[in-house]
Amino acid sequence: MSEPIIQLDGLEKSYGALRALDGLSLDLPEGPIGLLGPNGAGKSTLIKLLLGQLEPSAGRARIAGFDPTRRAERLALRRRVGYMPESDCLIPDMNGVELVRGLGRLTGMTPRDAITRTHEVLDYVGLEEARYRGLDEYSTGMKQRLKLAQALVHDPQLLLLDEPTNGLDPKGRKHMLELIHDLGHVQGKSLLLCSHLLPDVERTCERVVVIDKGKICSTGSIEELTRTEGSWTRTEVDGDVAAFRAALTAAELEFEVESTFVQRVRLREADGDGLFELAVRAGAVLVQLAPERWTLEEVFVDALANSPGNARFQPDSNSARSSAELETGAPGKGRH
Ligand code: ADP
């Protein structure tokens, strides 16, 4: 297995009396990873520690094999890592090309490479003629795309993206998520996508780390975390449904009828193939076999409910705010 792209070992950060990160220990593999947590959980603090912008109060972090507390390693790290900050940090007197090229130069690119790549990444994020406009004329959507472009200019192996869809309208958000998905799944970049929005992570990442109040509450692949216990499978059949259900009973398989042709069947290990044969013998055909899963939202509500001091994450059916945001309550786990 390849080296973890991010390694945390008892990482702590306090601001005065406030412990923003409380002893994080974790190895993260390459690939697209979501860092999820409500506002104030410690996500930005973690990113700043990884970039060497802050010093840990205790513990260690390594990123792309480098120790960000060491100056010499920080320079090498900057070449391998791209950072899209949450804040605007754009220089109003510059235009888009000047900013991206200038930041490319700071990572050690030659003037020629920097200008070539600048135009490539501006094309990639869809900033057309606007690239020659002053940054004070940029809309929020244009600023977000420019921030992504500057993170990509030196073709880094790992991207740290801090709330990349902040302030975007639905169309802009969809475009940003498509770009992030492409970077992680087609271009094979590793990324740490920091967000308080579950759907953003669900659409773009393979793994998640959930933090709250500076502690890790849950981590794993989305595939693993959303798997239900007991292998309940939604099963649709055509043909003799009654005979199929009788055969399920005879085979001592637990099931619940959902509608005329659909039932939820609790499969034992390796029952999947057997179910096809059982259906054929009963004079039915399996039209659909879909393992049930928790939604990522349910996994989070559960993880946060079990984190220390969790009162604000309790289910609140009266909440009018979007349950896709981590600050809000949501119904407990149900099957899907
Ligand atoms: P997130 O990015 O998850 O919203 P942050 O890392 O920004 O969380 O903040 C974690 C905690 O640390 C919050 O309680 C925040 O108020 C506090 N905090 C962040 N930066 C500072 C700072 N520079 N000085 C004091 N407290 C800070």
pLDDT at 169: 94
Work out whether strand 190-195 and strand 32-36 pair parallel, antiparallel, or are unpaired: parallel
Q: Ligand 1 mean position to 142 CA, how many Å?
A: 27
- Per the CB < 8 A criterion, the answer to whether 14 and 3 are in contact is no
Same fold, 6-225 and 232-291: no
Hey, CA dihedral for 88, 190, 299, 261, is it positive or negative? positive
Show the low-confidence residues of the chain (pLDDT under 70). 1, 229-230, 269-272, 308-336
CATH no. of 232-291: 3.30.70.240
pLDDT at 88: 77
Distance CA 102, CA 107 (A): 9
Residues 238-296: pLDDT tens digits? 999 999 999 999 999 999 999 999 999 988 766 667 888 899 999 999 998 888 888 88
**Token pair of 150 as six digits:** 């500057």
42 lines ligand 1 (CB under 6 A): yes
Provide DSSP, 236-277.
Answer: EEEE-HHHHHHHHHHTT--EEEEETTEEEEEPPTTHHHHHHH
Q: Ligand 1 mean position to 327 CA, how many Å?
A: 16
CATH number for 6-225 (one of 3.40.50.1100, 3.40.50.720, 3.40.50.300, 3.90.25.10): it is: 3.40.50.300
pLDDT at 282: 93
CA torsion 115-33-4-188 (nearest 10°) is -50
87 lines ligand 1 (CB under 6 A): no
284 lines ligand 1 (CB under 6 A): no
Q: Ligand 1 mean position to 18 CA, how many Å?
A: 9
Atom number in ligand 1 closest to CA 41? 3
- Residue indicated by tokens 């990113």: 47
pLDDT at 275: 87
What is the domain partition of the chain in residue ranges? 6-225, 232-291
Closest CA to 241 of 295, 278, 195, 187: 278
